[in-house]
Structures are given as structure tokens and as C-alpha cells.
Structure 1
Amino acid sequence: MPQSSARLRRGAVIAVAAGTLLAPIAAGPAGAAPFAPSAGLTAGSPGPSATAADVRAMTPEVARRLDVSVRRVMHVANIPGVTVGIWTPGQPSYVRSFGVADRSTGRKMAPDLYMRIGSETKTFTVTALLQLVDRGKARLDDPIGRYVDGVPGGNRITLRQLAEMRSGLFNYSEDPGFFKALTADPQRSFTPRQLLAYSFKHPVMFPPGAKFFYSNTNLILLGLVVEKQSGQHLGDYIKRNILDPAGMRHTLFPAGNEFPAPHAQGYTEQTANGGQADAADWNPSWGWAAGAMISTLEDLHTWAPTVATGRFPDGRRMVGAATQKQRLITPATSSITGAGYGLGIFDVQGWIGHNGSLPGYESLTVHLPSTGTTLVALLNTDTDYRGQEPSTVLGEAITKIISPQHVYDLPLSRTG
């Protein structure tokens, strides 16, 4: 299999088993109102619990250290542009943009740009599923074969196992034929059934529930379940039931390659010949329920505590308390200490959320519940640095400064 084909798996938070989606000038800070502290986790999180002392105060010195660290990572990893937001209740916010949004014009990166968020889409798709579970329209321990025909082993694979990445289904975006089709025409549109066909021609890799394996195929199936049980297109359901109630007016599920302005250009080497390309106008339909969405820094600032707590910003429940408790049971996925994956959400050293990667863009949106701290990072490249995703390198550098007891240290295995 071409190496680039494997890289399209990316957006996996825990790339461990075998199975992922894909000197700068600082802008001035932009403030944002912090959220109230969120309740601590109550279920099965493998990361260390946080206390208020675990996050450093955002003093001018800490902000200066962050500026220096972000610029250093950008320099060594050749990242064109980055926006970072950090918010802790009772502390000054840190919102900075560095570098360029467009290499050809020199247009600066800015906090208000739309960005593709890749596998962060999974948190929205699984949230939609959990809402339907709360409404009695689906059950987590139902077999997927009850909802979608033709799934290998579909009478034994449950919706829960799909959401937990423990189905054993082959990841369609690792299929060489898929990679060839995508890179031959990056603007083509894929249907969910076409994506599943790339997966289903491969044998099931292990019995359902036996182990963790990050597979985009799982989310395509869950997206189809949401559509069937809600009677709505997935993007419409997410907008009406998640984005609108959360007040996230700048987040969308595109139907094709549309990309609102202003947005950053995105730079990738996931091409047919391995050369660099601007992927801003590539069609993300190949990621669909696993990775197609677009958002902004401020909307992701809203989303991080919303998905981590199961409550909308106004206090209403987005997901029922019992269902949210199940969501936050994050079994360990490998030998990586302090990292686990639950129902479409991860816990890495106490940080709850998800990352995203697809050609040209990477993102990281995480929340430290006991302190109410949110970290969002948006990048306009997905090119690895020394075998690690650039968002991981950046997240580790930032959290070493702001939360040294909770460092976002997520190694990327090229085989998983």
C-alpha cells in the first residue's frame, strides 16, 4: 500500500493499532468570553484528574513563552499558518494567529478564518447518534445490520463498537484503489455507499470488540444510521439539533467542496506524485460523517466544553446524563499511558476532545474539565514532522507550558 494511502487515515486520535482520515509574524491577541467551569468527569477516564493548580495562570510571561514555542514549532515543522486559542475561566484568554493563510499572496493567518476540521466531524456524528439513542430511535448495543444492509459481520457489530473504534472493519481510506481515485480527481464526489465498498472488499480484521482500530468506515455507517432513524440528511440533522442550539453559526457540513470566505488555503503532500498541493478546493465528501466539516476558532471554543460535558452553553442537556456518562468511558487503546477512546471522543492525559486531519488542514479541540480550560489549534498543513502530525507536535509544546501535569503527548505510529 502506498504510504500516502495510509496517511489518509489521519484524524485518528490514538493511532496505535492498525487503522487515520489525513520566521512567522504573530497577530495581536483577540479576546473571548470564558466559559464557566465544567463538572469533572465521572466515568472511566484513564488520564490523570485535573485540579485548578494544574493549569498555569495566563500571565504575560506565560503568553510570551507560548508565542516563542508556537513560532519554534512552526519553524522546525514548516507550518505555514497557525491559530491558537486558550481559555480558562477567571484568566485572560490567549488567542493568537501566526504565519500566513496563503503562501502565494502572503495573506496573514487570522482568528476568524474558516478551516476544515477533518475528524473532529466524528464528535458531531456520534453526538447525533447519542441523541437518537436518548429518544429511543436506536440502541447502542443494536447490531449495525439492523440499520444498514451488506455490512460484513453486521449481525455481530454493534453501534457502540463502531463509535468506540472496535468493530474490526477495514478502513476504506487505507485502500489503494480509494487513494488512487481520490488523488486522480480530488474534486470528485463520493457517496457513502461508494466509500463502504472500498472497505467491504477487505475481510473483517478481528472479532467485534476484540481491540481498538481507528477506522473511518465506522463513522460512515453511523452517519447512515442517523439519516435512517432521523429521516434527515446528516448535515441537516447536525445543524438543527446540535449547531443551532449551541449557537455555532460558523460551523457547517458542506455538500461538496464549498468553503466559506474568509478561509485559509491548505497545503498537503498527499498527492498522486507526492508533490505539494493546495487542497482548499478538494471535495471532502470522501470523509463525509468521518471528516467533512468546516468550523472556526470561536465555534470550536464553544464546542470543546459542550461535547465534553454534554450540555449546551445555556445549560440545557445536549445528550442525556446517563448517555454522556457512557460516552466518557474511554478504555485504553494501547500501551500509551493515559490515553483512551470512548464514544467518538478521546482522553489524552486528561484532555477530552478530538483532533482532525485531512489533506491541507489539521485541528485540535480539547477541554480539561476540572479547570474549564479549552485549547483549540488550527493549522493549514497536514504534512508530518518526524513521523508526527503537526497538530500533535504543537499540542504537546503548548500543554508543556500551560498544563505540565497534563501534556498532550500522543505518539503517531505510521502503522496505526
Structure 2
Amino acid sequence: MSLVAVTAFAGACGYTIGEPATWRTPAPTPAYAAQLQTTLQNIINDMRVPGAVVMITSPEKGDWTQTFGTRTVDGGGPVTVGDRFRIGSNTKTMTGTVLLQLVQEGKIGLDDPVSKYRPEVPDGDAITIAQLLDMRSGLYNYSEDEQFNAQLDSDPLRVWKPEELLAIAFAKPAYFAPGAGFHYSNTNLILAGLIVEQLTGRSLQDEFQQRIFGPLGLGETLLPGPTDADIPAPHPQGYMFGTNVSTLADPALPPAEQAAADDGTLLPKDVTVGNPSWAWAAGAAISTAADLTRYATALVSGGLLDAKTQQMRLDSIQPIQTPAPFEVGYGLALVRFGPLYGHDGQIPGFNSFMAHDPVRKDTVIVLTSLFAGPDGKQPANELAMAIIQALYGIAPAPSASPSR
């Protein structure tokens, strides 16, 4: 969901393709980088992460990009900064952005009842469009259903239709009355994606391309078609300890398996081959670190919405957990991590994090090729929290962040 890898590589080498080489003095390594690299490497080792990309842009502290590990658990080639990763729930920010653009265009209102567009939604007269994007609809999250997860394990290449996902959700009782609480639910964004297609008459893929990817120059970012299970090269393989079913109630491995993972006798399973249609508007996109840096900046500091709508989006965020030293909140398909705004994402084989500070203009991108560590923690989030501590001297609680 990056700058073209070749261009990025050429820039790093100090010249532009097609022009005479003009050697420049490399930017100095930021003061925080040496200690941070050691910290991140320790986390990667402890969590058994096969590969990762970290990209930090900070006008005050300095920019730093680093890759870790290899594309496969048995070595393979090294991960590169241009590698593509599945970015899971970071996709939600894209679906939310397109829907907010349609609000700007007068095609839909945030206070409209969902039933106006999708009459089949239970209690849809009482659920607003805003509540879908705020995760306050109360609708059951289909991806929490055990039978659904069993099907993901047994048939990872199955092509899921959005209507099938909604049928799973609507067969279960709501978590609460609309607006009465917060519960992270992929069902909300599947509905949002269908409403986008209904209002525009075009596919969500086309809307992403025309409204986000094209205008921002995100040449390495895509929303796969419903039958497309491939990640365009180059990319690492994606890995997972356990299964979708076994990690549903508790993402941590049993103690004996954690010990085996720690000593290297238990390796994560390669789950790269899988159709992400089950996540669609809620989590199917693919991107690179450079593209996400550009996207996160526009998402938070402006460039995709008008100033009024942009500020409304930032102001919509409500606390979902208030651990010291700062608050984590959610609103209109956007997460606040203290001074930064963005999202994170978890999909079998991959875990990702993106955030941007609209005041300091810092951007933090982390991409990993592991769904979760043996202890159940999300590697991209753990790495991101270490980065935030290095940049700001503060460390939020990783568990506060939604993603799956």
C-alpha cells in the first residue's frame, strides 16, 4: 500500500538513474541509531522474527532505515527495503479515507443510518456510518468465529465473498447496542467497502488506485483482486506460530512450544500462500516501507482530505485504553498512539505498523514477516514501541493497539 525500489536504491547510492553520477556526502547516521539497532535486533531475536524492515523519518532526530534478517527462516536472501509485505489492518485507513472523501462529495453522511445503504444489517437503523469507522457499531467480528478460522486453516486459498463474511457476522448476536461501547470488528470495514462500491459503481481496488495510490505515487502498493493470492516480487515469505484456530483465544503458544521456539527446535510455519479476500476492505492490502511512509504522512498531515474533514477525523478519536505514559485511541478508522496517528496490521504471515506525528512530522514504519511471536505479542508493535521510546522517551503499552 512506496517509492519504486530501484529509485530508492539509486537515491541511496547517491546518483539518479539516467543522469551522470554526482556523489554526495551521505547523511550522518542519527545519534539514536546505534543503540536502537541493538535494541531492535534483540527484540527480533527474542521473538524469532525471520525478517523486518524499519523506516524512520524525523526532521528533528534524523532519518534512519534498516533491514533485518532474511526472506526465509532457513536463510534465503536478505530482506531489502523494497520488499513488499501484506499490511493487514492498515488497509482500514484506506477504506475509511475513501468513505470520508465520499462524505466530502456529498454522496453520504457520517450520521446516515447504515440501513439506508445496506438494509440487511441487523439493527441497521440505529447504526451510523461513523459508528462503523469508529468500531462502535456493536456488530460481531466474523474473524473471531472459530469455524471461520478453521476454514482459513484448512483452505487458505478459498475465495471469500464479502456477503459470506457478513453472513457469519449477522448470524451472531451483537456485542452491545450501537454506540454503547467499543469493539474492534472487521465486519464494520467490509460494510464500508461495499458501501463505497455501491456509491461509486466501481471496485474498491479502482477507488484505492484513483483516490489514494495514484495521487500519492504509491507505485508499489495494491489491493489484490478477490482471486489474487500472490504477493508481487520482491517479498519475504510470511510465517506463523500455531494456527488461526489455536491463536484465536490466546495468541501465545503453550509453554512447552514456547520453549521449543526459544531453543530453535520449533520453527514458524510458512503461510505465505493464502488468499486475503477474507480480509478485503479490512486488511488485504500490500505495500512497502517507502510507500507507507508517504501514505502515513498524507493520511495524518493532510493530502487526501480537505482541512475540515482531516481535522474532524483527528478529533473523532476516543480513548480505548489509557495506559501510562500516554493514551491510545480510535476514531474514523485511525489509531492514535500518543503523539502519533496511524494504524497497525496483522494477517497470517505478517505484522505491520505505521504512524505519523503531525506536529514533529516524524514517521515510523515497521514491517515484519511474522504474525506473532511465540509469546503471542505482535513483533511490529514491539519494535515500533521501542522506536517511539527512542524518539520520544516514552513507551506505550503494545497490548493497547488493535490490529487483527
TM-score, scaled relative to structure 2: 0.84
Match of 1:298 in 2: 290
Match of 2:241 in 1: 269
- State the 1:106 CA deviation: 2.3
Match of 1:235 in 2: 205
> Which structure: greater helix fraction?
2
| Total equivalences in the alignment | 358
Match of 1:50 in 2: none
Q: 2-side partners of 1:215 and 1:238: how far apart?
A: 21
Asked if the contact 1:114/1:294 (under 8 Å) is kept, the reply is yes
Structure 2 residues without counterparts, runs of 5 or longer: 1-8, 15-26, 247-266
TM-score, scaled relative to structure 1: 0.81
Match of 1:341 in 2: 330
1:44-123 aligned within 5 A: 59-89=29-59, 92-123=62-93
Q: 2-side partners of 1:250 and 1:272: how far apart?
A: 28
Amino acid at match of 2:285: M
SS in 1 for 2:399: coil
Q: 1-side partners of 2:295 and 2:272: how far apart?
A: 23
Amino acid at match of 2:144: E
Please say if 1:220 is aligned against 2:206. no
Amino acid at match of 1:366: A
Match of 1:380 in 2: 369
Asked if the contact 1:392/1:409 (under 8 Å) is kept, the reply is no
- State the 1:92 CA deviation: 3.9
Q: 2-side partners of 1:136 and 1:364: how far apart?
A: 32
1:334-367 per-position Cα deviation (integer Å, ceiling 9, x unaligned)? 3435111111001111111000110000111101
1:157-214 per-position Cα deviation (integer Å, ceiling 9, x unaligned)? 0010000000000100001121111111001110000011111110112111111110
Asked if the contact 2:61/2:391 (under 8 Å) is kept, the reply is no
- State the 1:413 CA deviation: 8.9
SS in 1 for 2:321: coil
Match of 1:362 in 2: 351
Runs of 4+ deviating beyond 6 Å: none
Q: Of 308, 311, 328, which residue of structure 2 is paired with 1:325?
A: 311
SS in 2 for 1:254: coil
- CA distance 1:104–1:286, change in 2 (3 Å): same
CA RMSD of aligned residues (A): 2.4
- State the 1:412 CA deviation: 5.1
Q: 2-side partners of 1:229 and 1:171: how far apart?
A: 24
Match of 2:175 in 1: 205
- State the 1:395 CA deviation: 1.1
1:108-132 per-position Cα deviation (integer Å, ceiling 9, x unaligned)? 1110001100000000000000000
- CA distance 1:147–1:129, change in 2 (3 Å): same
- CA distance 1:334–1:93, change in 2 (3 Å): closer
| Structure possessing the higher radius of gyration over alpha carbons | 2
Match of 1:52 in 2: none
1:365-396 per-position Cα deviation (integer Å, ceiling 9, x unaligned)? 10111111101000000123534211221111
- CA distance 1:29–1:378, change in 2 (3 Å): farther
- CA distance 1:63–1:335, change in 2 (3 Å): closer
